[in-house]
């Protein structure tokens, strides 16, 4: 039964981990705080919220998924835009697929949509115009070949 419950609430744990400022040391406190907020202080248990307060559970699920999806989509679009700019500055003619593969390679994932929010933001800061203009030719020479499609094994 525990496995079924965990899969049932997997969306919740994913949303919590993708939240801005998430700290693994305070994961349980963050989860309980969110549940308490949506249950109006009646429970700190996700299973109890699901069983005893289904309307509050549905509301929490809708709101958290919507917020998480919006944040991720904005971060993805920002990263794609900055990577297009970065690649064009390096005399490339990038396609959307190429840009996504560069992002995946930099994030060490196989699917662009699997890049977590904190990694999307870190990559955006890394490839942002302010940072890349400050890169010396040596840094460009070290970073650029690692991201090129031909160098992926």
Domain that includes residue 122, residue range: 69-151
Do 39 and 79 sit in the same domain of this protein? no
Do 7 and 54 sit in the same domain of this protein? yes
pLDDT (0 to 100) of residue 92: 73
The list of the chain residues with pLDDT below 70 reads: 1-6, 90, 129-153
pTM, 2 dp: 0.68
State the Cα–Cα distance between residues 111 and 114, nearest whole angstrom: 5
Helix, strand, or coil (residue 150): helix
Chain centroid, CA 23 distance in Å: 14
Do 54 and 82 sit in the same domain of this protein? no
Closest listed residue to residue 18, CA positions, set 77, 74, 60, 72:
72
Pick from 34, 51, 68: which residue ends a domain? 68
pLDDT (0 to 100) of residue 153: 38
Do 13 and 80 sit in the same domain of this protein? no
Do 62 and 89 sit in the same domain of this protein? no
Do 64 and 74 sit in the same domain of this protein? no
Do 63 and 77 sit in the same domain of this protein? no
**Tokens found for residue 69:** 């999806």
Confirm if 79 and 103 have CB atoms less than 8 A apart: yes
The structural domain count of the chain equals 2
Do 110 and 76 sit in the same domain of this protein? yes
């Amino acid at each position: 039964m525990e496995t079924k419950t965990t899969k049932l609430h997997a969306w919740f744990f994913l949303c919590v981990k993708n939240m801005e400022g998430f700290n693994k040391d305070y994961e349980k406190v963050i989860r309980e705080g969110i549940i308490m907020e949506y249950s109006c202080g009646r429970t700190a248990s996700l299973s109890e919220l699901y069983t005893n307060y289904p309307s509050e559970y549905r509301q929490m699920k809708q709101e958290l998924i919507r917020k998480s999806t919006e944040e991720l989509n904005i971060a993805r679009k920002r990263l794609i835009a900055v990577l297009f700019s970065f690649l064009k500055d390096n005399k490339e003619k990038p396609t959307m697929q190429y840009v996504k593969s560069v992002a995946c390679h930099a994030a060490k994932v196989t699917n662009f949509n699997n890049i977590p929010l904190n990694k999307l933001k870190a990559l955006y800061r890394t490839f942002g115009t302010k940072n890349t203009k400050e890169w010396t030719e040596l840094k460009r020479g070290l970073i650029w070949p690692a991201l090129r499609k031909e160098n992926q094994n």
